[in-house]
Chain A
Amino acid sequence: MTESGITYDNLAASLLNDMINNIIKNEVLLNLSNHLSIEKQIGDNKENNNFKFQETDSSKDIYGQDKMKLKTVESGRYFSCENCGRKIAGGRFAQHINKCLERKRK
C-alpha cells in the first residue's frame, strides 16, 4: 500500500517536473533565438545599438527614471478636483474623486 503511495506521488512529481522542464526549454530557446536574430541584424555594430543587452532594473521604469522618486513627486503634487474645485494631493486623488462623484450622484 505504501509502495503504491510512493509511486503515486512520484508520478505526480515527475509529471510536474517534465512540465517545468518543458517550459524552461521553451524559454531558453526563445531567448537564444532572439539573441541570435538581433546579433545577425546588428552585426559588428554592437556599441551603437540601444535595444540590445538592456538589463531592466526593477527600481526603474521603462524610461530609466527612478520609480520611488516618481512616486513621491506624483503624490506630492496637487491636482484640482473638477467636481468640487478643491485641491487634492496626487496620492489621494483617486480616492477623492471616487467619493466626490458618488456624493454628486446622490
Chain B
Amino acid sequence: MDQQQKELAQIKAKIQNHLISSGNYDIINKQLKLKLYESGWYDKINQIALRELNDNSNINFDQLYNFIKPKAQDLVPDNVKDEINVKIKQYLDHVVQ
C-alpha cells in the first residue's frame, strides 16, 4: 500500500510538472476560478473569513486557514468539481498513452 502511494505521488509530481509547463494548469485553474466566482463561492469564503477576523483579531494564518479550509472545501459545488474533474481527466487521457 505504501509502495503504491509512493508511486502515485511520483506519478502525480511528474504530471503536475508537465501540467504546469504545458500551460494547461493555468487554463484549468482559470476555468475553476471562473466557475467558483459564478457560483458565489468567493463571496461566501470572504464572508466567513471576515466574520472570523472580526471576532478574533489576533488569529494567525495557520489558524485561519485551518478554520476556513474544511468549510471552503464543502462549499465547492459538486457540479463545479465534476466539470473540472472531467477536464483534468481529459488532459490525463491526452498525456497518458
Cα(A37)–Cα(B68), bound, Å: 20
> Chain B's interface: helix, strand, loop or mixed, by majority?
helix
Closest CB-CB distance, A53 to chain B, in whole Å? 5
Closest CB-CB distance, B18 to chain A, in whole Å? 11
Given A15-B19, A19-B32, A23-B32, decide whether A56 and B85 contact each other with a Cβ distance below 8 A: no
**Counting chain B CB atoms within 10 Å of each CB, which of A11, A14, A15, A29 scores highest?**
A15
Cα(A20)–Cα(B32), bound, Å: 8
| Range, interface on chain B | 35 or more
Q: Check B61–A32 contact: CB distance below 8 A.
A: yes
Name the residue on B nearest A25 (C-beta). Answer: B65
Cα(A24)–Cα(B84), bound, Å: 16
Closest CB-CB distance, B62 to chain A, in whole Å? 10
Name the residue on A nearest B52 (C-beta). Answer: A31
Q: Does A61 have its Cβ within 8 Å of any Cβ on chain B?
A: no
Give the interface of B toward A (CB within 8 A).
4, 8, 11-12, 15-16, 19, 28-29, 32-33, 36, 42-43, 45-47, 49-51, 53-54, 57, 59, 61, 64-65, 68-69, 72-73, 76, 81, 84-85, 88-89, 92, 96
